[in-house]
Amino acid sequence: MRGGLVMHGPPEPAVALTFDDGPDPAHTPAILDLLAARGARATFFLLGSAVERWPELARRVAAEQEIGCHSYAHARATVTSLDAFREDTERALDLFERTLGARPRHYRFPWGHPGRVAPRDVERLYGMTCVHWSGAFDVASDAPTIVRRTEASLEPGAILLFHDGCAPGSVYPASREPTVRALPRILDAIEAQGLRAVTVGELLSAGS
């Protein structure tokens, strides 16, 4: 943990799979299907704007996996001040409550950067733990590279970042199809190393 920001889980025989920027009907359903077929767990850091656009899909994510908050708009301006952060976050959380009937326990900053917002303030104000990652793996545009990078970073307690959507202004590839194609081999690699794919909440609670 760095300044209240969780970077890695405890050294348990498990890794937390996380997916950002969804839900997105182009790729989220396929990822959910793959996880369900393998009995794998994951945390989806949803955008409030995407929940607003695709509420039924967001409800499916919440019913099958753990949800986290990834801001409403994924704008860099969100973290320029605590007031801007509160406006964006409260808009997102209102959508979570009205659409999903629940508030997330974990928050991931847009672009991964707290900016002028202290992670401890997020916990104090909203009861959410701020979660970063051990490595980002699907910045590549091809599945074999995603698999290779992930395999090289597998270790007990790792928090793995992938994407099931594409945020406005993202530097990542527009299509998440390579991530979908890579996921079965990633799950194979996790199992081969004697690890389990779990949610962020499950990983962090295992060390308490």
The single residue of 8, 24, 163, 164 carrying the catalytic annotation is 163
64: DSSP letter:
H
The runs of H, that is alpha helices, within 39-176 are: 48-53, 55-64, 82-100, 119-126, 143-153
Domains and CATH numbers, the chain: 5-206 (3.20.20.370)
- Give the integer Cα–Cα distance in Å for 180 and 19: 11
8 is catalytic: no
The single residue of 8, 20, 132, 138 carrying the catalytic annotation is 20
27 is catalytic: no
Please tell me the pTM assigned to this model.
0.95
Mark residue 98 as left, alpha or beta (left: phi above 0; alpha: psi -120 to 50; beta: remaining): alpha
The runs of H, that is alpha helices, within the chain are: 28-38, 48-53, 55-64, 82-100, 119-126, 143-153, 177-192, 200-206
- Written as tens digits, the pLDDT of the chain (208 aa) is 566 899 999 999 999 999 999 999 999 999 999 999 999 999 999 999 999 999 999 999 999 999 999 999 999 899 999 999 999 999 999 999 999 999 999 999 998 899 999 999 999 999 999 999 997 677 767 899 999 999 999 999 999 999 999 877 665 656 899 999 999 999 999 999 999 999 999 999 986 6
